[in-house]
Structures are given as structure tokens and as C-alpha cells.
């Protein structure tokens, strides 16, 4: 690919970086990504990362401080920006060939942004002091593309079905549990639906809605050859079934607008629906909800093909323009950013579920003591048999297209089949 072609494609990509999988908002960061040496002879590195408010910035500052302590000869400048702004600025930095030495990446975006990162070799991992064996099964798939590793995950995530225990008790039904079927899910949703509330919160967000068709069909929307496969008959049938939860089964209300990307989970948090899908990264918020109800969670129901869940996550990589002494220093800092000390801290503050196996149990310490074991069981269920998610270079644009077009599908003004067929035609590779 020529520099001109790359620049043009990246400019087009900049308009399609909005997603709902991870937390958004907060912070600003300049677009210059210069690294170099400081006046005291230290290697100066810039670390770019997204953040959604003061708590996340505090977590990142502490992580940076851990890395500084482990690398006293390196000066680390942390820069944060909101989720959407982060990828817009990364696109600009890629176009100018000025990507920060320490660049953060989300697993769903690595296919589109892998050119921003430098592939990591076995020798690189040795310099960083990183061993794949120390990380959760499948974790290194999160930031891999075309057989190359582009980053090290700091967290692993899976989708969970959260449910309102108070509503379940009121309906006099059995609580959802691992191994349940889609027929059992629908029966539960119907039992939880009454004149006061619906049984399920429908979703617009990326994997919040895709998770159910994936689990039902046993297929990902990207096939094993890395090709977009939205119109696979089994996947299409499952997606239509999902839309019918609103239009036919009446166990969910349609999202009012495309801006309500977290509609289902927000309705759950407000105590307005009996069940909703959310990522493990929001478990603490859901279990300790401000509405005051008692929450529970389990893995998604399974289809005839058996259980299928995806391991998701984000991590840190080395910028493609980082070379020489700066790159070696960046590798050592990378190792520190995902070290046990850093992962333990992230776990204790409840930011996310660590990718490092030795730190994972500490995550549950961030929950009230009386529900820790229950949450751990739910996580064990969610991560059982998960596989790496597949993506394409046009995935950000596809997501940007799908979100607003799902709104009329849920109101009955459009058909899921037509939306997915149009998406396949426009973004298929």
C-alpha cells in the first residue's frame, strides 16, 4: 500500500471510530507524539490512552508511576483522550507517521488500526519480560491480526446476561443459570414482562446486541477466512430472532434513538427491565447499582451448536514509528504496564478483569464481600470455552452503519435481513 493510499484510507476511517463496547469520554490529548531524550538523559516516551473520567485517569497515572519505578531511566508522558477522540487522533498520527511509542489498542479495532503498531516478536517479549503462559487462555488473540501479535492485553472480557433477582423472585421463576437454552431465555423474558416492565433490554451497542445472534447461531459475523459474513443463513436467522424480541415477542422495548447505544444496560441499571446483556467490565456497576435492586449474572444461553462466547479486551502496543533505543525502552515499559503490580492495582480498584492470571482473583476484592463468590462463579461461566473475536478492516465503519439502522428494525419500520444484506454489500471484504 502506498503512503497516499494509506493516508486516504485513514482519513475515511476517522469518521467511523465511534463504538460502545468500552467506556467513553473525558480528557484531551495533543496529536503530536514526539519521543526522544530529556535534559537529564532519560529516554522520553509518550503513552497514549483513552479515559472516561477522573477515576480512569487516576488508574492510568498509578500504572504509569509503577512503570516509572521499574524503569528509572525512562520518562513516561501519559496522555489521555475520550474514546472517540482517541481513534480520530490515532488516525491523524498514522497519516503523519508520528504514532506514539506506547500506543493503546482495543481488540475490536486492531484489524483496522494494526498499521499503527509494530508487530511483537519472541525477542521483543523477552526484552519486555512477558510470557504468554502467564496470561489468560486466548488473551494474546485479542490484539493479534493475520498471525502477528500487535499488543499485550491488560484485560480480558466476555459478555454476561445480568438479571434482576427481585423481579425473578416476584415472578416466581427459577433464576437463569449456565447451560440454559434460548427457549428457556425466552420463557424467562416472557415471565418477567408485565405492565410495569419488560423482561429484556434490547441493545444497540456492538457486542451487546451481536452477542445473542453469535451465541444462538454458533457463528461469528466474520468467518474463519477473515471475511464479513453477516448474511450467513444461520447468523441471519439468529439476528432476526433477536429483533423479534421487540417486534413479535414484545418482551423488550425499542431503543428511542441511535444515541442510546447503551439502552438495554441503562434500562437494567434503572430497574426497568428484568435482564440485559453487558460486558464483564461493567459487572461492578451492575452488581452495585444505584437503583437498589439485587442483581445476578450468568453466561448467555446456548444454541444447538453448543456454547460460543468471545474473549474481548484491550491492551498496549509499540507504535510503528518507534525505533532504536526508544523502541527497546518502550518494550521494557510495556512489560511494566502489564506487570503483576500494575495488574494487581487495576484489579483492586475494579477497573477491569486482568489479563494476567495471577492478578485475576484480586479483581473480586473490589466487590462487596457477600457477593464475591457469586460474581466469581458468573465470571467462570462467562469465560468457559471463549474464543478470540474476528474482525475486519472495515469493522469500525460497519459498526457506525449498524447502530442507527437497528433503531427502525426494532420499531418494525425496517427488516433485519435488509439491514444486514446492505451492510454485507457495503462493507464486505
**Among the four given CATH numbers 3.40.50.300, 3.40.190.10, 3.40.50.1450, 3.40.50.720, the one describing domain 39-156+312-365:** 3.40.190.10
Q: Which residue has the higher pLDDT, 242 or 390?
A: 242
Q: Is the pLDDT of residue 1 over 90?
A: no
- pLDDT of res. 385: 80
Question: To the nearest whole percent, how much of the chain has pLDDT over 90?
Answer: 81
HEC profile of the chain: CCHHHHHHHHHHHHCCCCCCCCCCCCCCCCCCCCCEECCCCCEEEEEEEECCCHHHHHHHHHHHHHHHHHCCCEEEEEEEECHHHHHHHHHHHHHHCCCCCEEEEEHHHHHHHHHHECCCCHHHHHHHCCCHHHECCCHHHCCEECCEECCEECECECEEEEEEHHHHHHHCCCCCCCCCEHHHHHHHHHHCCCCCCEEEECCCCHHHHHHHHHHHHCCCCECCCCCECCCCHHHHHHHHHHHHHHHCCCCCCCCCCCCCCCHHHHHHHCCCEEEEEEEHHHHHHHHCCCCCCCEEEECCCEECCECCCEEECEEEEEECCCCHHHHHHHHHHHHHHCCHHHHHHHHHCCCCCECEHHHHHHHHHHCCHHHHHHHHHHHHHHCCCCEECCCCCCHHHHHHHHHHHHHHHHHCCCCHHHHHHHHHHHHCC
Q: Which residue has the higher pLDDT, 2 or 272?
A: 272
Contacts for 114 with CB less than 8 Å, ≥ 6 apart = 145, 146, 148, 150
Kindly report, residue by residue over 280-309, the tens digit of the pLDDT.
Answer: 999 999 999 999 999 999 999 999 988 888
Range with lowest mean pLDDT among 92-96, 306-310, 358-362: 306-310
Number of neighbours of residue 187 by Cβ within 10 angstroms? 15
Handedness of CA 175, 208, 82, 99 (dihedral sign): positive
Residue closest to 91 by CA, chosen among 156, 169, 33, 47: 33
Q: Is the pLDDT of residue 316 over 60?
A: yes
- pLDDT of res. 347: 96
- pLDDT of res. 269: 97
- pLDDT of res. 26: 34
Kindly report, residue by residue over 26-44, the tens digit of the pLDDT.
Answer: 333 434 455 666 657 899 9
Residue closest to 179 by CA, chosen among 375, 376, 382: 382
Q: Is the pLDDT of residue 2 over 70?
A: no
Range with lowest mean pLDDT among 20-24, 105-109, 198-202, 343-347: 20-24
Alpha carbons 396 and 402: distance in angstroms, whole number:
10
Question: To the nearest whole percent, how much of the chain has pLDDT over 70?
Answer: 91
Instruction: Give span(s): CATH 3.40.190.10, the chain.
Output: 39-156+312-365, 158-311+373-427
Rg (C-alpha) for the chain, rounded Å, is: 21
Alpha carbons 368 and 350: distance in angstroms, whole number:
11
Range with lowest mean pLDDT among 39-53, 275-289, 341-355: 39-53
Q: Is the pLDDT of residue 383 over 70?
A: yes
Alpha carbons 250 and 236: distance in angstroms, whole number:
20
Q: Is the pLDDT of residue 20 over 70?
A: no
Q: Is the pLDDT of residue 5 over 80?
A: no
Q: What is the pTM of this model?
A: 0.84
Q: Which residue has the higher pLDDT, 309 or 249?
A: 249
- pLDDT of res. 19: 39
Contact indicator for 6, 386 with CB cutoff of 8 Å: no
* Cell matching residue 31: 496529536
- pLDDT of res. 59: 97
**pLDDT bucket at 271, cuts 50 / 70 / 90:** very high
Long-range contacts of 37-42 (CB under 8 A, 24+ apart): 38/75, 41/73, 42/73, 42/74, 42/75
Q: Is the pLDDT of residue 231 over 60?
A: yes
Kindly report, residue by residue over 158-197, the tens digit of the pLDDT.
Answer: 999 999 999 999 999 999 999 999 999 999 999 999 999 9
Q: Is the pLDDT of residue 210 over 50?
A: yes
What's the CATH class of domain 158-311+373-427? alpha beta
- pLDDT of res. 33: 53
Q: Is the pLDDT of residue 340 over 60?
A: yes
The overall average pLDDT reported for the chain is 91
- pLDDT of res. 283: 94
- pLDDT of res. 352: 92
Contacts for 40 with CB less than 8 Å, ≥ 6 apart = none
Alpha carbons 163 and 274: distance in angstroms, whole number:
6
Q: Which residues pair with residue 161 across a beta bridge?
A: 277, 298
Torsions phi, psi for 393 (to 5 deg): -65, -20
Amino acid at each position: 500500500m502506498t503512503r497516499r493510499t494509506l493516508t486516504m484510507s485513514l482519513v475515511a476511517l476517522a469518521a467511523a471510530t465511534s463504538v460502545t463496547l468500552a467506556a467513553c469520554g473525558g480528557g484531551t490529548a495533543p496529536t503530536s507524539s514526539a519521543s526522544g531524550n530529556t535534559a537529564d538523559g532519560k529516554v522520553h516516551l509518550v503513552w497514549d490512552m483513552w479515559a472516561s473520567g477522573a477515576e480512569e485517569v487516576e488508574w492510568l497515572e498509578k500504572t504509569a508511576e509503577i512503570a516509572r519505578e521499574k524503569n528509572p531511566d525512562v520518562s513516561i508522558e501519559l496522555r489521555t483522550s475520550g474514546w472517540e477522540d482517541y481513534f480520530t487522533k490515532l488516525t491523524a498520527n498514522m497519516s503523519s507517521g508520528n504514532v506514539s511509542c506506547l500506543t493503546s489498542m482495543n481488540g475490536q479495532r486492531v484489524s483496522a488500526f494494526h498499521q499503527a503498531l509494530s508487530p511483537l516478536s519472541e525477542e521483543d517479549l523477552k526484552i519486555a519480560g512477558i510470557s504468554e503462559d502467564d496470561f489468560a487462555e486466548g488473551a494474546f488473540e485479542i490484539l493479534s491480526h493475520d498471525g502477528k501479535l500487535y499488543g499485550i492485553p491488560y484485560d480480558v472480557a466476555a459478555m454476561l446476561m445480568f438479571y434482576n433477582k427481585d423481579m425473578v423472585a416476584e415472578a416466581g421463576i427459577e433464576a437463569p443459570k449456565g447451560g440454559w437454552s434460548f427457549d428457556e431465555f425466552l420463557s424467562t423474558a416472557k415471565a418477567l414482562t408485565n405492565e410495569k416492565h419488560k423482561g429484556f433490554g434490547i441493545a444497540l451497542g456492538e457486542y451487546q446486541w451481536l452477542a445473542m445472534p453469535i451465541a444462538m447461531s454458533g457463528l461469528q459475523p466474520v468467518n474463519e477466512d477473515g471475511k464479513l459474513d453477516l448474511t450467513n443463513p444461520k447468523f441471519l436467522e439468529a439476528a432476526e430472532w433477536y429483533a423479534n424480541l421487540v417486534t413479535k415477542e414484545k418482551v423488550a422495548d425499542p431503543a428511542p434513538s441511535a444515541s442510546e447505544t447503551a439502552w438495554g444496560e441503562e434500562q437494567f441499571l434503572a430497574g426497568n427491565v428484568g435482564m440485559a446483556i453487558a460486558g464483564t467490565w461493567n459487572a461492578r456497576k451492575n452488581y452495585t447499582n444505584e437503583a437498589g435492586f439485587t442483581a445476578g449474572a450468568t453466561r448467555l444461553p446456548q444454541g444447538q451448536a453448543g456454547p460460543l462466547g468471545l474473549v474481548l479486551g484491550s491492551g498496549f502496543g509499540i507504535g510503528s514509528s518507534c525505533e532504536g533505543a526508544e523502541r527497546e525502552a518502550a518494550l521494557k515499559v510495556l512489560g511494566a504496564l502489564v506487570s503483576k503490580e500494575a495488574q494487581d492495582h487495576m484489579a483492586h480498584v475494579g477497573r477491569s478483569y486482568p489479563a494476567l492470571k495471577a492478578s485475576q482473583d484480586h479483581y473480586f476484592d473490589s466487590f462487596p464481600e457477600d457477593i464475591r463468590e457469586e460474581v466469581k462463579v458468573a465470571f467462570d461461566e462467562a469465560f468457559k470455552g471463549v474464543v478470540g473475536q474476528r474482525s475486519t478492516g472495515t469493522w469500525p465503519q460497519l459498526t457506525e452503519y449498524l447502530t442507527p439502522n437497528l433503531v427502525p428494525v426494532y420499531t418494525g419500520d425496517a427488516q433485519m435481513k435488509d439491514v444486514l444484506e446492505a451492510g454485507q454489500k457495503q462493507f464486505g471484504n
